[in-house]
Amino acid sequence: MGDYELSDIEIKTIDDWINLNILPQKTAKKNYASYALKLLFEQSPDGFFITNRQFKEAMVRCGFSPVNKNKLNWDFRVSLSPELK
């Protein structure tokens, strides 16, 4: 495993956190950038350091599409669960 490769347990932890805390939205009332969401994950009780790329991959894996893949920090049309607000 490389320095920044994630274990299956870490991948499941990230995916579970996204599925519990990130809610899809059809319209862009407010977009959340991947880097900001990554920081929220890292600060959560089960969180740990991950790269922005790893978080973007997790969001796609969980069914979220970025607004513009050409940007460094992808914006997602999502809202946060009430527990995160």
Q: Which residues pair with 76 in a beta bridge?
A: 32, 66
Q: Which residue has the higher pLDDT, 25 or 85?
A: 25
Give the integer Cα–Cα distance in Å for 19 and 14: 9
pLDDT at 1: 46
Q: Can you tell me the mean pLDDT for 41-63?
A: 97
**What token pair was written down for 16?**
């579970």
Q: Of 5, 81, 17, 20, whose CA–CA distance to 50 is shortest?
A: 5
Task: For residue 32, report the phi and psi dihedrals to the nearest 5 degrees.
Answer: -110, 130
Residue count of the chain: 85
**What token pair was written down for 44?**
């959560």
Tens of pLDDT, residues 24-41: 988 766 779 999 999 999
What is the reported pTM?
0.90
